[in-house]
Chains A and B, each alone.
Chain A
Amino acid sequence: MKFTLSWLKDHLETDASLTEITDALTSLGLELEGVDDPAAKLGPFTIAYVREAKQHPNADRLRVCMVETGTGDVVQVVCGAPNARTGMKGVFAPAGSHIPGTGVDLKPGVIRGEESNGMLCSEREMGLSDDHDGIIDLPEDAPIGMSFAEYRGLNDPVIDIAITPDRGDCLGVRGVARDLAAKGLGTLKPLDLSPVEGTYDSPIQWARSSDIGSDVPYVAGRHFRGVKNGPSPAWMQRRLIAIGLRPISALVDITNYVSFDLGRPLHVFDAAKVQGDTLTMRRAKAGETILALDEKTYTLEDGMPVIGDAAGPQGIGGVMGGELSGCTDDTTEVFLEVALFDPIRVAETGRRLNIDSDARYRFERGLDTQGLVWGPEVTARLVQKLCGGEVSRLTTAGDIPDNRKTLTLRTDRLESFGGLAVPAEECQAILDRLGFETTRDGDVITAITPTWRNDVEHEQCLIEEVLRVRGFDAIPAVSLDRETALSQPILTLGQRRVAFAKKQLAQRGMFEAVTWSFLAKADAVTFGGDPQVLALANPISADLDAMRPSILPNLLAAAQRNTGRGYADLALFEVGPVFRGRGPKDQDMVATGIRAGKQIPRHWMETSRSPDVFDAKADVMAVLEACGAPIDRLQVGDDVAPDWYHPGRFGTLRLGPMLLARFGEIHPAIAKDYDLRGRVAAFEIFMDVIPQPKAKKGGGKTRPLLKASPLQPVGRDFAFLVDANVSAEKVVRAVLGADKALITDVSVFDVYQGADMAGKKSIALAVTLQPVDATLTDKDLDALADKVVTSVHKATGGVLRG
């Protein structure tokens, strides 16, 4: 919402400076967006008289001018303009001024041997237009020495404020002035809203169709005859131009002016073009069309409120008037529309037709219902003043709705709710200045809302009004009591585990990425998502049109981008949501990572290698351990690899039926889609599935007593020959199961599977035995070895390798 300072002062009697006013606007909730003060830029420029302009002795196209600036000085200026001549009046810029059109700081100088101590300016140099044919040539009566900005009426700062959607009343300058007056920045000037006496009955009458209801509760109008349309007066044009509107003609400008001055949208019909003697507020029939004032034809939908005459729709209710019945320079008879449209209906109509207009903007935010009463009067006075002619008596249809509410304010709530004690008298005075009708009984104020404040609904709104007029700055900041002496744990275990996982992975050399929750539908399908369930209706772009069923494609795409930049050795992870469906329980927290390029880069002492499935497994185990999962009880599942994993280099970690993690290498065909060469290790850890530890009885964090044996552990190595398809884990478990008391650790230190093995493989194990009570004898060890061999044979069919 833009307006000029002088415009504001039409409504506000004030001595406040521009800065005081703009500060007050922001503190009232009418946030200052900017001030454009042309006078500030044009400050140094004054009107000057060229006493003499003579030919420059050393340059054909230059003149040496003696310029009277009004301060008594005569300044010599060298000027190149063809129209510089003795006796003219122009605009003078003294040395030292900044020329806005060229960006040059003017310095005194000598031009071809003649001193020049200033400049006579063109419009372009002033930044006013592109005109550079010559210097500005002012009329003879222009007063020498006067500020040019003032002379041209350019000294009126334009103030731009943001209006929140609840404050439709401030979409007119008067509403802004009222708020400022309430804050004490001056007084609101009276406005002449008195009725205008009509002299004849309007030949066009307003009507409402029976089904229009609250979509158009009321409409009023007047007829004007013998008017003369033409350009509106300079003051009105200046203001309209200042706020970015194009002056068209007096009649159209009046409607725009009233809309911005008082927040009251109007429409004027050329009465001669209206067919029949009635204009009706009615619902459009589907398919009806209208050529609107923006010169576009709109096809209306069934039920949209329109203004119709005998020929058809002449306006779209609350949105835009029609071109065919619009006023032109030739208009001599006018019919005025001052209507009230339902805000929701207007918003919907505007949205469906894709029309943004100043009228729609105001109607959808709610208007002063009393504008229906004073609107026709204020407009009639302006039309008569600017266009002459006669005014008819009023024609109306419908009833003006009563939008006033009676609310109660307990003024002690200012302190207990608003945090600022404000005396009841002051609360009342503020509400009064805002236009509420109040009565007060001690600390309780009864307030009737003004007709222009549709947003004030309950006591909290009244508190807000008082607080914002007093200024939020006045409210003391109070720290919140914690209610416990010490801070308390506030995170769930699940939330902490997310943090553990992130820290663990980063400590393992991975970099945390945060990528979109959406991706291309095709990727969603490739990575196991159901496109029916995950598709967005209105994606921002075609490659982000579905919710992600996995983070892997996003990380692979990130790897592709990084590789493209020359950073191919990478380890990325993200811990974030993935989506199985769209319900609140269909969202999982998944820690996902990839390693690509070189796991170990070329190095003088290390062997370079690619990442592989066991890097992924190590990452998974590290995260699960950090998250407190029962590592010892996890089992590698025999799950079939999903399509995006290498079918032979993939595994899962399960705890019974629960799938805790998937790990492996990305299927080479998919890696290739992302331009990734070599193996790409990948994992997905399902954070929500990691079991919660059992709470200790009686709480506390005591750990079981460590029973460290005083006896040395003994190591024994075994090598088993098993079928190639027997998993190492199965062999290890069989060994562990052979004597649960004695065997404390089993590690695989060699696997051999050669062509000579005939479908078998050899697995070598180092077994750690921890004696508990007594040192193991050879006999004990032999017995144990037998148990181990038997157990492995029973579980896997494997035999001790000779």
Chain B
Amino acid sequence: MTGDADDLKAALLTRIEAASDLKELDDVRVEALGKKGRITEQMKGLGALDPEARKAAGQALNVLKETIATAIEARKFGLERDALNAKLVDDQVDVSLPARPETMGRLHPISQTLDEIIAIFGEMGFAVAEGPDIESDYYNFTALNMPAEHPARQMHDTFYMADDQGGVDMTTVLRTHTSPVQVRTMESQKPPIRIIAPGRTYRSDSDMTHTPMFHQVEGLVIDKKTHFGHLKGVLQDFCSAYFEIDDIPLQFRPSYFPFTEPSAEVDIGCSRKGGELTIGPGEGWLEILGCGMVNPKVLAMSGIDPDEYQGFAFGMGIERIAMLKYGIPDLRTFFDADLRWLKHYGFVPLEAASLVRGLTP
């Protein structure tokens, strides 16, 4: 009996393995496990045995039946997979063809630069303040110690709105700098104050290196203890972080602005070796911003007691520092919306600039 069972098992397994399609496999199944199958027949024959023998033979037959059924299932799965794969060959495509069209747009370099500026000054505790582009002459000039006769107020420097007779409304200007936001902030907020104010600014100027509109970011710190050394420290920290160059050399030159005293212009180290401009330690200097301690007259006009409070202000051109960092050669191209330029100099819109995650995508 045992020998027969082994032979049967071997014979069936061989045939299962040899089945070349589902039909053939099913024939084997019927022959082994069908109503008149060989295993089924043997099961029927168990009744003729004595109980002891029946038990032993029954167990053996069950194992055999199980083995054969599993083998058939496995072979069936294999045959089905083979059949599917054979079909999939016809479904083949040329995967070198382009995928469905999708475009990732780009952010303008001004947005990216502004994002970076905010990330850095944010780490130093500066909030972001805003003000209107169309300003009163008071906020743009008078409150910044530029009285009525100041030369910057001339029409060849400053845009004025027309009055309703088509003349000049000398009290309404397009802000020439973001400094009016300083005044608005000081009027509305008690010290300590720590803000930056980015935005559009306008000057009546248009040539190779000037555009009638550009962006500035203003900085203002007012409290009881901030001194000129802090101004140097903040700008040093900013420039090193922004240009991503440790200890980038800065030079503070005494200068003059009506709203600060002392005032300084700040140059950043650069090299022009081989006709190529590189920011960093080098033989040259490049002016990037103006700054100073807020003039006591300006504090007083904004309702802050200059005997009690002091602080600094600075202003820099956003396009200018974007050009320097990213090597963009021409200011005028910023406002042309040339797709080729936007693609080339723009930034993928992923995460916001951050000192911890990295400034640039």
Q: In chain B, residues 316-344, which have Cβ atoms closer than 8 Å to a Cβ of chain A? A: 334-340, 342-343
A504, closest chain B residue (CB): B349
Interface 1/0 per residue, A576-613 and B, CB below 8 Å: 11010011111100000000000011011110000000
In the complex, besides A473-B251, A512-B111, 20 extra interface pairs with C-beta distance below 8 angstroms are: A351-B154, A417-B227, A460-B261, A464-B262, A464-B263, A467-B228, A472-B253, A479-B234, A480-B124, A480-B237, A488-B125, A491-B128, A499-B111, A507-B104, A510-B105, A511-B106, A540-B206, A561-B337, A572-B339, A600-B101
Q: Which residues of B contact A751 (CB under 8 A)?
A: none
A selection of 22 A-B contacts at a CB cut-off of 8 Å is A31-B265, A166-B256, A417-B293, A419-B229, A464-B261, A467-B262, A472-B262, A476-B232, A480-B125, A482-B123, A488-B122, A492-B128, A502-B111, A506-B104, A506-B348, A506-B349, A517-B213, A535-B161, A540-B206, A561-B337, A583-B134, A606-B100
B102 at interface, CB cutoff 8 A = yes
B359 at interface, CB cutoff 8 A = no
A506 and B337 contact, CB distance less than 8 A:
no
Least distance between A119 CB and chain B CB atoms (Å): 30
Q: Which listed residue, A505, A516, A536, touches B335 by the CB 8 Å rule?
A: A516
Q: In chain A, residues 522-570, which have Cβ atoms closer than 8 Å to a Cβ of chain B? A: 532, 535-541, 544, 547, 554-555, 558, 561-562, 565, 567, 570
A506 and B255 contact, CB distance less than 8 A:
no
- Distance in angstroms between the alpha carbons of A472 and B260 in the assembled complex: 15
B229 and A577 contact, CB distance less than 8 A:
no
A347 at interface, CB cutoff 8 A = yes
A97 at interface, CB cutoff 8 A = no
A417 and B106 contact, CB distance less than 8 A:
no
A491 and B118 contact, CB distance less than 8 A:
yes
A562 and B160 contact, CB distance less than 8 A:
no
Q: Which residues of B contact A473 (CB under 8 A)?
A: 251-252
B53 at interface, CB cutoff 8 A = no
Interface size on B, residues (CB 8 A): 95
B107 and A502 contact, CB distance less than 8 A:
yes
Binds A, one of B29-37, B64-72, B163-171, B274-282: B163-171
Q: Which residues of B contact A571 (CB under 8 A)?
A: 103, 105
A164 at interface, CB cutoff 8 A = yes
A532, closest chain B residue (CB): B164
With contacts A464-B254, A483-B125, A540-B206 taken as known, whether A604 is within 8 angstroms of B155 at the C-beta atoms is: no
B133 at interface, CB cutoff 8 A = yes
B229 and A475 contact, CB distance less than 8 A:
yes
B262 and A468 contact, CB distance less than 8 A:
yes
Binding site for A on B (CB under 8 A): 97-98, 100-108, 110-111, 115, 118, 121-128, 130-135, 149, 151, 154-156, 159-164, 166-169, 172, 174, 200, 202, 204-206, 212-213, 221, 225-234, 236-237, 251-256, 261-265, 293, 295-296, 310, 334-340, 342-343, 346, 348-350, 352
A513 and B108 contact, CB distance less than 8 A:
yes
Chain A: interface residue count, which band? 35 or more
Q: Which residues of B contact A605 (CB under 8 A)?
A: 97, 100
Which among B102, B107, B228, B234 has the greatest number of chain A C-beta atoms within 10 A? B228
Q: What's the count of A-B pairs with C-beta under 8 Å?
A: 266
A27 and B103 contact, CB distance less than 8 A:
no
Q: Which residues of B contact A164 (CB under 8 A)?
A: 255-256
A348 at interface, CB cutoff 8 A = yes
B160, closest chain A residue (CB): A537
B342 and A516 contact, CB distance less than 8 A:
no
A547 and B103 contact, CB distance less than 8 A:
no
Least distance between B133 CB and chain A CB atoms (Å): 6
Interface 1/0 per residue, A141-167 and B, CB below 8 Å: 000000000000000000000001111
With contacts A513-B342, A518-B213 taken as known, whether A536 is within 8 angstroms of B105 at the C-beta atoms is: no
Least distance between A477 CB and chain B CB atoms (Å): 4
Least distance between B145 CB and chain A CB atoms (Å): 10
With contacts A509-B103, A512-B108, A544-B212 taken as known, whether A537 is within 8 angstroms of B256 at the C-beta atoms is: no
Least distance between B350 CB and chain A CB atoms (Å): 8
With contacts A418-B262, A538-B168 taken as known, whether A509 is within 8 angstroms of B105 at the C-beta atoms is: yes
Least distance between B298 CB and chain A CB atoms (Å): 11
Q: In chain A, residues 484-519, which have Cβ atoms closer than 8 Å to a Cβ of chain B? A: 484, 487-488, 490-492, 495, 499, 502-518
- Distance in angstroms between the alpha carbons of A516 and B169 in the assembled complex: 21
A547 and B134 contact, CB distance less than 8 A:
yes
Q: Which listed residue, B106, B155, B338, touches A537 by the CB 8 Å rule?
A: B155
A26 at interface, CB cutoff 8 A = yes
Q: Which listed residue, B227, B254, B295, touches A29 by the CB 8 Å rule?
A: B254
A512 and B342 contact, CB distance less than 8 A:
yes
B254 and A420 contact, CB distance less than 8 A:
no
A84 at interface, CB cutoff 8 A = no
Q: Which listed residue, A347, A348, A513, A604, touches B337 by the CB 8 Å rule?
A: A513
Which among A460, A567, A579 has the greatest number of chain B C-beta atoms within 10 A? A460
Least distance between A252 CB and chain B CB atoms (Å): 28
A487 and B230 contact, CB distance less than 8 A:
no
A458 at interface, CB cutoff 8 A = yes
- Distance in angstroms between the alpha carbons of A584 and B174 in the assembled complex: 11
Least distance between A161 CB and chain B CB atoms (Å): 12
With contacts A167-B256, A603-B101 taken as known, whether A540 is within 8 angstroms of B262 at the C-beta atoms is: no
Which among A473, A536, A604 has the greatest number of chain B C-beta atoms within 10 A? A536
A589, closest chain B residue (CB): B130
- Distance in angstroms between the alpha carbons of A506 and B103 in the assembled complex: 9
Q: Which residues of B contact A583 (CB under 8 A)?
A: 132, 134
- Distance in angstroms between the alpha carbons of A573 and B108 in the assembled complex: 10
A482 and B124 contact, CB distance less than 8 A:
yes
Q: In chain A, residues 596-642, which have Cβ atoms closer than 8 Å to a Cβ of chain B? A: 600-601, 603-606
Q: Which residues of A contact B229 (CB under 8 A)?
A: 418-420, 475-478
With contacts A537-B155, A544-B212 taken as known, whether A460 is within 8 angstroms of B149 at the C-beta atoms is: no
A555 and B159 contact, CB distance less than 8 A:
no
- Distance in angstroms between the alpha carbons of A458 and B260 in the assembled complex: 12
With contacts A29-B256, A517-B213, A587-B134 taken as known, whether A511 is within 8 angstroms of B204 at the C-beta atoms is: no
Which among B97, B169, B236, B293 has the greatest number of chain A C-beta atoms within 10 A? B293
B202 and A517 contact, CB distance less than 8 A:
yes
A508 and B105 contact, CB distance less than 8 A:
yes
- Distance in angstroms between the alpha carbons of A506 and B261 in the assembled complex: 43
Q: Which residues of A contact B98 (CB under 8 A)?
A: 603-604
Q: Which residues of B contact A507 (CB under 8 A)?
A: 104-105, 349
Q: Which residues of B contact A515 (CB under 8 A)?
A: 335, 337
A199 at interface, CB cutoff 8 A = no
